[in-house]
Amino acid sequence: MADLQQFRYGHVLEFMSPENQALVAHYLTLLQSRQYAPLTLEGRIRALKSFCDRLSPRRRCVIARDLTQTTAEDIDDWLQTVRSLGLAPSTIHNTLTPLRQFFAYLHDEGHLARQPIRRHRHGVILPESLPCPMAEADIVAFFRVIDSVRNRLIFLLMLRCGLRVSEVQHLTWSAVNWEAESVRIDKAKGQVDRVVYYTSDVAQALRQRQALGNGGTAYVFPSPYKRRVGQPLSKRGIQHLMTKYCQQAQLTTSYSSHNLRHNLEYPIMPSRFEKKRRTSGVTTHSTLHD
């Protein structure tokens, strides 16, 4: 029998009955056999946790004991709660979608009489917006305040190569082809492999990062915490850095790391990590650290 604890973040569903945990574990094992990415499996777990956490105490107890007791009214109540909390439509949608797929599995397996998530009753309309690249002046101001080789490389990989946060997070040195000046990304979104080529400023930052060492791990960006030795830097850690540097640069627009992916054609910037750099006609010295 599949064990839920073998999956990353499986422990967050320990409040469920053993029967429920076995159902979820079997479902995740099926997805795993179909080559679903680990991050997708984690998303399924987090969706179930988010759903149960925002039910009324009485219904939470019932569903934690038996997931097959979930009804359309439970979905109604959950939607009303998350909307009152001000969750974005995209966040609600990104939880509903994996829930719908999980309940469809329960229905197909004969555990549920009817799918509790109804398309016309529970559908969430998502606003369609164009990609939002960072303004050129904001990019310059953002990189100007970064005083770390590691952190500069993190955001250059997003800016120059279009890497996602999770792809930067899990990048290994073995994926870097120094001769071809490229990086191989395996099993990216949609289980697609691809090769991206980097520019001279990324090459320089990669060499500087390599010279500083990797703490004995295969990752380009290993976690700095002892409790996570051998693991990559967390997504939350990267997002925190983005917020910190945006604040230090005094940017008035709110940006996320993903915004950098839409600036691939931005011209090469002077490196802060050369011994000297020229800005507005004034030569200044930069501080270099990891």
Domain boundaries of the chain, sorted by first residue: 4-122, 136-285
Considering the domain 4-122, what is its CATH architecture? Orthogonal Bundle (1.10)
Helices 18-33 + 38-53 axis angle, to 10: 150
What's residue 132's pLDDT?
Answer: 73
What's residue 288's pLDDT?
Answer: 45
What's residue 215's pLDDT?
Answer: 67
| Model confidence pLDDT, tens digit, residues 206-231 | 999 988 877 678 899 998 877 777 78
Q: By the 8 A CB rule, do 261 and 165 touch? A: no
| pTM as predicted | 0.64
What's residue 270's pLDDT?
Answer: 43
What's residue 157's pLDDT?
Answer: 93
**Which residue type occupies 89?**
P
Q: By the 8 A CB rule, do 29 and 2 touch? A: yes
Using CA atoms, how far residue 184 sits from 68, 93, 173, 174, 194, in Å, is 42, 31, 10, 9, 6
Report domain 136-285's class: mainly alpha
What's residue 279's pLDDT?
Answer: 35
Residues 19-44 as b or e (16 or more Cβ within 10 Å = b): ebbebbbebbbebbeeebbeeebbbb
What's residue 107's pLDDT?
Answer: 95
Low-confidence ranges of the chain (pLDDT < 50): 267-288
| Model confidence pLDDT, tens digit, residues 234-270 | 888 999 999 999 999 999 888 888 888 876 555 444 4
Tell me the three state secondary structure of residue 69. helix
